[in-house]
Amino acid sequence: MKKHLAKFVAGLTVAAFAALSMPTASGAATTLRIWADADRKASVEKVAGAWGKKNGVTVTVVQKDFGKIRDDLKTVDVATAPDVIVGAHDWVGELAANGSVIPLTVSKSVAAKIPSYSLDAFSYANAKGNKVLYGAPVALENVGLVVNTKVAKVPTSFDDMVSQALAFQKKATGNFGLVIPGGDAYHNYPLFSGLCGYVFGKDAKGNLNSSDVGVGNAKLLDNASQIDSWNKSGLLSSKVDYGIAKNAFLAGKAAFWVTGPWEKDTLDKSGLKVQIVQMPKNKCDSVPFLGVQGFMVTKFAKTHGVESQARDLVGSYMMSAGAQTQLSSENGRAPANTDAAAKITDPLLKQFAAAGKGGVPMPNIPEMSSVWGDLGTAWTNVFKGADATPAKSAFRTAGKNIVAKIG
């Protein structure tokens, strides 16, 4: 028995040592925690840090994968939860329905400097159908038609674009006319909108209406034969993926490329002469999807007792021209604030911004998760070459499926 006693004594000794090494409880300090992705972390640190210095607040920026910011917000523990997040506008519906982010109000003077579509993008209708703002739009991104001006001219019309593309394609084997990642509903949206397709219609109050699905709408179906002809002529193929499209364009083997400002550095370094425009009008305006990035205040700011601070940072400071100019120059995106936007000097960034004119913010209602898959599948199926599904039936099926999935 003595031996056993000795073991317990030894155990208790270890316990005592463990107790001694106990970390001191982390005291609540005057800190504000922000979640940002790797690309934006440094710039957010700088800009939010400047605000913090002014207000006597320490700002901690925690790096998260962009998509995980949205996912982790559901499960995060209060103790380590963020007060402010960087996010995309199309998360807003889900985050608002989950009560993860809190409504903001902005003064008219602030709102006057931010285009209303980007404020709308960060808004979600409440029970009364009023738009409630949940975030500060900071940066805009959209795809444009990148023209390799060495081998093609900026197209004057949609038909001109098609004929130039086909002509270049025929010039040499391995040449591409127009490259768009296959089966990708986002990059193909200019084609889709150009044929009068839309995802969700709007109700009387201007809010997105999930029961009005425009993926298989009559006008689009009427125009769908154009898609079949692009497939037949080999203008577009779903076998061209993002990497193939990019490599082809950078190698000078594609006349036109649909891509966005995230490739600005690549284009700058490529040595190619390019110009970026909106895809020319087809049956309707060939507008791209708009993505708006911004800052949101989480419900945890309340529990942490930093709600007013967080609202100040997001609702007024981040909306200002000064902050947005700096964020824009660090991240290579057009700022939302119009004063800041007027100051952009980078030619490509300016052209990308211009290519987004009239664009449609990606729908931010949670029902959008029912759309991406089927819309993408439709694009895959219509550009399969010889085995392609006729566009009319592909988009009709996609529309039907989406309605069924929304339920």
Partner 1 sequence: MSDSTNHRNDHWWRHLVMWVAISIAVLPPLYVVTAAFNSDQTLSGSSLIPRSLTLENFKGLFVQKEGGAEVFFVRWFRASVIIAVLNAFFTVFIGALSAYAFSRFRFRGRRMGMLFLLLIQMFPGLLNLVAIYLIVLRTGEVIPALGLNKLTALLVVYLSGAMSVNLWLMKGFFDSIPAELDESARVDGATPAQIFWGVILPLAVPVLSVVGMFAFVGTLNEFITASVLLETVDNFTLPLGLQSYIGTNFEENWGSFAAGVLIAQIPAIIGFIFVQKYIISGLTQGSVKG
Partner 2 sequence: MTQAAQYRPSLLARVISLFSGVGGLLVKLLLLCVLNGITGWAIIVLFTQDRIAWALGTIAVLGLIDFIYLVPNRFLPAKFIIPGSVLLIAYLIVPIFFTINTAFQEYSTGHVLTKAEAIDTNIEQNVVQGDRFFQMTPARDASGELVLVLVDDTSGQTYLGRQSGLEEIDSTTVSVDDFGDVLPPAGFTALVGDELFAIDAELAAFEVPLDNGGVIRTEGLSGAYDSVPGFEYDASSDSLIAADSGVAYRDNGRGSFTSADGEELVVGWREYIGFENFTSVITNPLVRQPFLRAFVWTIGFAGSTVLLSFAIGLFLAKVIDKPNFRGKKLYRSMLVIPYAIPGFLSLLVFKGLLNDDYGLINKLLPFDPPWLFDPWWARLSVILVSVWLTTPYFLLVCMGALQSIPAELVEAARVDGAGRWQVFRKVTLPLLLVVVTPLLIASFAYNFNNFNNVYLLTGGGPSTDDQAVAGATDILISYTYKLAFESGKGQDYGLASAISVYIFFIVAAMSASGFLRSKALENMK
**Residues 1-40 contacting partner 2, CB under 8 A:** 4, 7-8, 10-19, 30
For CA atoms 276, 282, 284, 289, the dihedral sign is negative
Site string for partner 2, 244-263 (x = CB under 8 A): x-------------------
Q: Which of residues 176-235 bind partner 1 (CB under 8 A)?
A: none
Instruction: Report the Cα 307 to chain-centroid distance in Å.
Output: 26
- Residue pair 328/335 in contact (Cβ under 8 Å)? The answer is yes
User: Which of partner 1, partner 2, none binds 370 (CB below 5-8 Å, type-dependent)?
Assistant: partner 2
Q: Measured between alpha carbons, how far is 74 from 95 in angstroms, rounded to an integer?
A: 9
Q: Measured between alpha carbons, how far is 281 from 160 in angstroms, rounded to an integer?
A: 11
CB of 75 to partner 2, least distance (A): 9
Q: Which of 6, 38, 218, 404 binds partner 1 (CB under 8 A)?
A: 38
CB atoms within 10 A of CB 147: 23
For partner 2, the closer of residues 285 and 339 by Cβ is 339
Q: Which of 16, 97, 112, 251 binds partner 1 (CB under 8 A)?
A: 251
User: Got the DSSP string for 42-101?
Assistant: HHHHHHHHHHHHHHT-EEEEEE--HHHHHHHHHH--GGG--SEEEEEGGGHHHHHHTT-B
Q: Measured between alpha carbons, how far is 337 from 327 in angstroms, rounded to an integer?
A: 11
Q: Which of 136, 161, 165, 306 binds partner 2 (CB under 8 A)?
A: 306
Site string for partner 2, 58-87 (x = CB under 8 A): ----------------x-------------
Torsion angles phi and psi, residue 350, rounded to 5: -65, -45
Token digits of residue 310: 């967080």
For partner 2, the closer of residues 351 and 380 by Cβ is 380
Token digits of residue 73: 């917000």
CB of 274 to partner 1, least distance (A): 16
372 touches partner 1 (CB under 8 A): no
Site string for partner 1, 312-351 (x = CB under 8 A): ------------------x---------------------
For partner 1, the closer of residues 64 and 392 by Cβ is 64
User: Which of partner 2, partner 1, none binds 63 (CB below 5-8 Å, type-dependent)?
Assistant: partner 1
CB of 66 to partner 2, least distance (A): 17
Q: Which of 77, 108, 127, 407 binds partner 1 (CB under 8 A)?
A: 77
CB atoms within 10 A of CB 274: 18
Cβ burial, residue 284 (10 Å; 0-12/13-18/19+): middle
Cβ burial, residue 236 (10 Å; 0-12/13-18/19+): buried
For partner 2, the closer of residues 104 and 165 by Cβ is 104
Q: Which of 243, 267, 242 is nearest to 147 (CA)?
A: 267
Q: Which of 35, 122, 118 is nearest to 71 (CA)?
A: 35
CB of 405 to partner 2, least distance (A): 4
Token digits of residue 56: 């006597």
315 touches partner 2 (CB under 8 A): yes
CB of 404 to partner 2, least distance (A): 5
Q: Which of 26, 56, 204, 269 binds partner 2 (CB under 8 A)?
A: 56
Q: Which of 226, 300, 288 is nearest to 69 (CA)?
A: 300
156 touches partner 1 (CB under 8 A): no
User: Which of partner 1, partner 2, none binds 372 (CB below 5-8 Å, type-dependent)?
Assistant: partner 2
Residues that bind partner 1 (CB under 8 A): 22-23, 37-39, 41-42, 62-63, 65-68, 75, 77, 80, 241-244, 246-247, 250-251, 259-260, 262-263, 266, 330
